[in-house]
Structure 1
Amino acid sequence: MGGVIEGVDRIAVLRANALGDLVLAVPALEALRRAYPGARLTLLGRPWHARFLEGRPGPVDDVVALPPISGVSSTADGHKAPESLFEGLRERRFDLAVQIHGGGRHSNPFVRAIGARVTAGLCSPDAERLDLWVPYVHFQHEILRHLEVAALVGGTFDVFEPWIAVTGADRAELARVYGELPSGLVALHPGATDPRRRWPARSFAEAADRLGRPVVITGVEAEREVAEKVAAAMRRPAVMAVGTLGVGGLAALYERCHLVISNDTGPRHLAAAVGTATVSVYWCGNLINAGPLTRTRHRSLMSWTAECPVCGVSGLDPRAERCPHDESWVADVTVDEVVEQAEYLLRGE
């Protein structure tokens, strides 16, 4: 779409959200690295990005951990970016600032304020325009959306699926917490930030029992309740890995697994990015935006539920306000479907 910009030595990329968002941005980050191999690439992210990416092979050279900023690094209202932050970012003299952090209503003014020579990124109809931009359309896969932005400034790519390196420190963390894990391990990740994306706990439990493999259940501390529901419904004990590992340790755990069964959530993307086969349960709209792009190692079971099971509000209109109900929109995916795909992938291990 566009050519490489001359004289780019310092690049800033805004992507300051959650785990899955980072993983889906990796192909675009790699495309930028390929276009500007001698430039320093700085991710404008959150504190967890700095911890996870420090010393990790990949396209990012360093991370600026942003404070909570409404619409940029926080979903909460009332957090204004301090002027001292902009002063510090301007002192870095970025040649190129890239926005792959949503439609741009909040993020584009932020990116323009850091003083880069050229800005590029996404623009929804209500967003401030950058120097180079592509339209933000809701139903588009995130990986392809970000690659379009990278292409604006000469980014080229031949790999679409993200890849994350697992380090010796990650494996050491896993060994320190869990010691020697059983072989043939299957991980279950029954949580999701949005409870509507959660397959029922009893379904996870039944699928695990039918596979007959050693099982580890993963989650953050906020997902302990649903993880314990799965464990209680299973006929055999499972290893609980809830709130015990950092992101790097979780990557090492998934690397050890033969299969991960998950909802649409960041850990599913992480598992796939470290090379582990996945079976995932998706709502149809989320599959468009964030599902795996290939099927050799990754199978997605989709719910076609189009309306809230309680009140009937549409899920297909991105302009519709979220209703107050948290009932699952993916409960209609059957255990038989998940087990069939899991067994197929496990036969090829």
Structure 2
Amino acid sequence: MEDFNADFGGARTTGYAVGPVLEKFTGVSRIAVLRGGGLGDLMFALPAVAALKAAYPQASLTLLGTPIHAELLSQTEGPVDETVILPFSEGVRPGAEDEGELAGFFAGMQARHFDLAVQLHGGGRYSNPFLLRLGARHTVGTRTPDAARLERTVPYLYYQHEPLRALEVAGFAGAPPLELEARLCALPEFSQQLAPRLHMPPQAPEAKGTVVIHPGATDPRRRWPAERFAAVAHQAADDGFRVLVIGDHSEKELAEAVVELAVGRVQEAGQAAGNGGRGTPPQVESLAGKLSLGELAALLAGCSVMVANDSGPRHLAQALGTPTVGVFWTGNAINAAPLGRSLHRIHLGWATQCPVCGIDVTQVGWTAPRCQHDESTVEAVAPEAVYEDVRQLTAMSLHPRGR
């Protein structure tokens, strides 16, 4: 069996952080970092990017990412100097490959003469050959046993905290951690653009804060049911908070369902109280599909707390310093949950088998089959427990967060 220990590429160890910190490369003025995927994937990579920038302060850093990465990074303040959008390529950016486009991309990247290329995109089966085609002088990244070797490689095992995995890779490039979690700043111009959208209805009382809810997630199995989010939204509105439900264009229907269910709960409560459901309209509305990423960042940076599944917007809120209450499947919590609990709370779905076919859902990653069923693995999480954390965090958020 092939030896699967870390490959130091002959470098000496200069210290330890998340893992070994190896000696720095010399003469590095151009760095490329490969990380495809969505918002959450970008957040996982940013601590490593910040570490690389600190270790090589004279170098320019180019992220090879996706359109959503480019949009967000152009509309926030962060550690990336430039974003180049990846072409469609199997295992790197899903889509129909165009050989001409791929050839042109690699020709352009080779012409940049990168000194260091860092792979933060999975186990390397597809991403390591992709990285090698950049023609960089030095290469570092993760590697499964079947993946191409880079100059220095960290063994890829699925269950590892993603930001810490990326920091371990950065350590192999000679970059000790600067921070353990992503950090971004919203830009003031997007707060100004957002303001007209956030005017309160004339008949609504002044809210004591804003709770943002994101009910979506790329994998349906990570989604807490809409009625659970609605229960939290209703309670928050009843306590005097303004509740804004967010999502992208594909999540508009889901966001509107949460709003309708929350409003229905208020009307039912009014009927039970004998006023026929009439009274002050609940402060619950949907902004799904209406915000640019810069506006989303401004909204999240200014809200009291965010409630969400394990999703890109939740990870973005965390990077902006906003308190969050997250609903995670327990396996995803190992890889993606926040490290601290003073500003971030998590609630776990403990399902280990698909409720339909019984397959072991803990066996995930690059070798594991996925069944065809999309039933939620977090349905059992109680709304009352989630809202109790909302209460606690909004009480804390009355104090400055140091931003």
Give the TM-score, by structure 2 length.
Answer: 0.83
Cα separation, 1, equivalents of 2:330 and 2:66: 29
Q: Which runs of 5+ in 1 are unaligned?
A: none
Q: Residue 242 of structure 1: SS of its match in structure 2? A: coil
Q: Which of 305, 311, 324 in structure 2 is aligned with 1:278?
A: 324
Q: Contact 2:123–2:147 (CA<8 Å) still a contact in 1?
A: yes
Deviations 1:188-207 (A, max 9, x none): 11111111111111111112
Map 1:164-313; keep pairs closer than 5 Å.
164-179=184-199, 182-211=207-236, 212=239, 213-234=241-262, 235=266, 236-313=282-359
Paired residues for 1:57-206 under 5 Å: 57-74=77-94, 76=95, 78=97, 80=99, 82-179=102-199, 182-206=207-231
Relative to structure 1, the CA distance from residue 126 to residue 263 in structure 2 (aligned partners, 3 Å threshold; closer, same or farther) is: same
Task: Report the Cα distance in structure 2 between the residues aligned to 1:175 and 1:337, rounded to whole angstroms.
Answer: 32
Establish whether residue 338 from structure 1 lines up as the match of residue 383 from structure 2: no
Give me the whole-angstrom Cα distance separating, in 2, the residues matched to 1:335 and 1:172: 34
1:325 equivalent in alignment to 2:373:
yes
- Rounded to whole Å, the distance in 1 between the matches of 2:80 and 2:54 is 12
Secondary structure class of the residue paired with 2:371:
coil
SS at match of 1:122: strand
CA contact (8 A) 1:45 1:63 kept: yes
When Rg is computed on C-alpha atoms for both structures, the one with the higher figure is 2
Amino acid at match of 1:207: V
| Structure 2: distance between partners of 1:71 and 1:173 | 37
| 2:35 matched residue in structure 1 | 15
CA-CA distance at 1:237 after TM superposition = 4.5
Q: TM-score, normalised by structure 1?
A: 0.96
In 1, Cα distance between equivalents of 2:133 and 2:347: 43
Please say if residues 314 and 320 of structure 1, whose CA atoms lie closer than 8 Å, have aligned partners that are also in contact.
no
CA distance in 2, matches of 1:166, 1:183: 22
Identity %: 46
Question: Where has structure 1 moved over 2 Å in runs of 4 or more?
Answer: 47-52, 54-58, 76-81, 175-183
Equivalence for 1:39: 59
* SS at 1:169 equivalent: helix
Query: 8 Å contact 1:203–1:335 — kept in the other structure?
Result: yes
Inter-partner Cα distance in structure 1 for 2:181 and 2:102: 36
Please say if residues 46 and 66 of structure 1, whose CA atoms lie closer than 8 Å, have aligned partners that are also in contact: yes
Between the aligned partners of 2:361 and 2:290, the Cα distance in structure 1 is 34
Partners in 2 of 1:72 and 1:139 — Cα distance? 20
- For residues 207 and 91 of structure 2, the distance between their equivalents in structure 1, rounded to whole angstroms, comes to 43
Matched positions, count: 348
Give the direction of change, closer, same or farther, for the CA distance of 1:67–1:172 in structure 2 (3 Å limit).
Answer: farther
Q: Cα deviations across residues 259-303 of structure 1 (Å, max 9, x unaligned)? A: 100000000001111111000100000000000011110000001
Q: CA deviation at 1:172?
A: 2.8
